[in-house]
Amino acid sequence: MEPMDPIFSYQAEGDLDYRGSLFRYPGRAGQAVRLLKYSRKTSLAPFMARSLARAAELERIDYEMAIPVPIHWRRLAFRGFNQAELLCAHLPRRVPGLRRSRPTRPQAGLTTAERLVNLTDAFEVLADVKGLSILLVDDVITSGRTANECAKALKSAGAFEVGMLAFCGESFS
């Protein structure tokens, strides 16, 4: 797996204050994500979760609540698990603080224009986040649209800061 260097970008993108990913999506890291999600290879999740927790600690990410990016209940019923929840397993202060309030198409394979509208207003905040620093967790971050929509909902509910940590992603622009 090819590590990202640096892991984090602290340049704000929309409602997202910072974003990070441990590995580049092309190659083995992306393959691991696809195996976890689509082939149900949940045996990969503990390694991935430990890697995320270690990175958050080494990078000294200051957060008060770790929230996995939610999937819609229909997709959860079909897949049997939310990969983002599995990846939060070793992070302290994890809370299911968001709900996907409507089904959406997977972002993978959508055009940029389709990605812009696919997730609009698709997330509902479940936890009291007023004044808190939130760390979103997901398997992959590419365009950042999902993370931004989650951050938008969290900031509308009063979150002070929202960052994202993913197992793998695209290079920062």
Relative orientation angle of helices 45-58 and 28-38, to the nearest 10 degrees: 130
pLDDT grade for 15, boundaries at 50, 70 and 90: very high
Q: Is residue 74 part of a domain?
A: yes
Placement of tokens 């509308």 in the chain: 156
Over the stretch 86-97, which tens digit does the pLDDT of each residue have?
999 999 999 999
Over the stretch 152-162, which tens digit does the pLDDT of each residue have?
999 999 999 99
Q: Is residue 2 part of a domain?
A: no
> Closest Cα partner for 16 from 167, 149, 121?
149
Angstrom distances, CA of residue 34 to CA of 5, 6, 39, 125:
22, 23, 7, 27
- Which helix H or strand E contains 37, and what residues bound it? helix 28-38
pTM summary value: 0.90
Q: Which domain holds residue 85?
A: 8-169
Q: For the chain, what is the domain count? A: 1
Mean pLDDT of 92-118: 81
Mean pLDDT of 66-90: 94
Whichever domain contains 81, its CATH number is 3.40.50
Q: Is residue 3 part of a domain?
A: no
